[in-house]
Chains A and B, each alone.
Chain A
Amino acid sequence: TQLLEQSPQFLSIQEGENLTVYCNSSSVFSSLQWYRQEPGEGPVLLVTVVTGGEVKKLKRLTFQFGDARKDSSLHITAAQPGDTGLYLCAGAPGSGYSTLTFGKGTMLLVSP
């Protein structure tokens, strides 16, 4: 069974601070996805990374896939209250259809 260790589990910061969330595994993934979930809603896909060493940017969010495709990170610059939510990483073991392995999630609270 492939496992994804996500850290930290909870993060409470002030507006304007930077933060990084980590997602690590001993297994290789074909791709890794990051989702954000707000209360009362389903997870929303932020990005999918598929190539080892790949870096993708989405405004103030920077996603990186490790060279060995076993880990990933999400960095948020100058966090805003609107960034508050549950961040989930999910790994796909194969290309095409794959049952996702989800990390335990990081609950981020950004205070004004």
Chain B
Amino acid sequence: SAVISQKPSRDICQRGTSLTIQCQVDSQVTMMFWYRQQPGQSLTLIATANQGSEATYESGFVIDKFPISRPNLTFSTLTVSNMSPEDSSIYLCSGWWRGQGGYTFGSGTRLTVV
């Protein structure tokens, strides 16, 4: 099965700064998504990363705060901008391949904003 490499695995950042999270997939993926998760809790979809066009954001998430890029079918980035302590969370990317029954996830980025 496909592998998604996500980095960094964790970071501690100062409020007001930005962090870019990268996801590299070892094969071309049909769809890519970005999620947020509080430890031990469920996943909240931030956006669908569209190849070559603007991401599709879910309610409550905006492009200025969470700009996303997907320049090709194997790579995507999520930036958490102008961070505040409320942005402390686990951020996960995932991929879906046509014909595959479920999603594959990266190992997550544990972000702490101080």
Interface residues, chain A, with chain B CB atoms under 8 Å away: 31, 33, 35, 40-45, 48, 50, 86, 88, 90, 96-97, 99-100, 102-105, 107
Binding site for A on B (CB under 8 A): 4, 6, 9, 30-31, 33, 40-43, 45, 48, 92, 94, 96, 98, 101-108, 110
What total count of A-B pairs have CB within 8 Å?
56
The answer on a CB contact under 8 Å between B40 and A88 is no
Asked whether, in the complex, the Cβ of A97 is within 8 Å of the Cβ of B30, the reply is: yes
How near does chain B come to A49, taking the closest CB pair, in angstroms?
A: 9
Which of A31, A40, A97, A107 is the one whose CB lies under 8 Å from B31?
A97
Contact partner of B107 among A35, A40, A48, A97, CB < 8 A? A40
Q: What's the Cα separation between A35 and B6 when bound, in Å?
A: 19
**Chain B residue nearest to A4 in the complex (CB):** B42
Q: A43-B105, A44-B105 are in contact. Are A96 and B42 (CB under 8 A)?
A: no
